[in-house]
Amino acid sequence: MMPGRFIVVDGVEGAGKTTQLAFMGDYLKRAGQQVVPTREPGGTALGEEIRDLLLSHRHDGMALTTETLLMFAARAEHLERIVRPALAAGRWVLCDRFTDATYAYQGGGRGLPLERIAILENWVQDDLHPDLTLLLDLPVAVGLERAGRRGAADRFEREEGAFFERVRAIYLERAKQRPNRYRVVDASRPVEAVRAEVEAILADWLERSDG
């Protein structure tokens, strides 16, 4: 059995992850792949409950350590029940956000030392990392304007622009440091232009997997 593939789509608010993930799932299915769409935080029943705690406004005063540990608690459950079994079965896992988001939001945005995140990453993930991370990148102001059209903001979306500038900077730095895993896609363009580039990236990966 061919091993599965683990693909993550990430980026700041308003980057268009939901739209591109839906397209990617359809594209991979048409190419004959078994696709498992999922998201973080969440993906499991327990993970979705944790997601609600993290994103709702009921706990605006949540300590940074608490927030980060909840992220990894949801991630541990997600990996155990969804990601690892799917990969072992040869499926392609298509995930909305993963650990890079923790480095970006809790590390860059909130200022948690990245070394602490790395400790949790190594503990929870061991040697599991995405095969491919698509970073949908765009100016923060553009992303926030788009996100504002979606309705009520969650606990993270209410942060100031400076917060998201720090988030974006960490994403781009990690992409620079990991060129073999990351593909940075200019998400400020029209949806169809972004989709065309994403399709080309997926086509390349399908070719590699067949090889």
> If pLDDT is split at 50, 70 and 90, which confidence band does 65 have?
very high
Q: Which among 138, 135, 133 has a CA at the least distance from the CA of 184?
A: 135
Nearest to 193 by CA among 130, 138, 148: 138
pLDDT in tens, 124-179: 999 999 999 999 999 999 988 877 666 665 666 676 779 999 999 999 999 999 99
Quick one: pLDDT at residue 158?
72
| pLDDT bucket at 3, cuts 50 / 70 / 90 | confident
For tokens 């990966």, the residue is 205
Query: What pTM was estimated for this model as a whole?
Result: 0.93
Give the fold, CATH level 3, of 5-210. Rossmann fold (3.40.50)
Q: Is a pLDDT exceeding 60 seen at residue 211? A: no
pLDDT over threshold 80, residue 208: no
Say how far apart CA 199 and CA 67 lie, in whole Å. 35
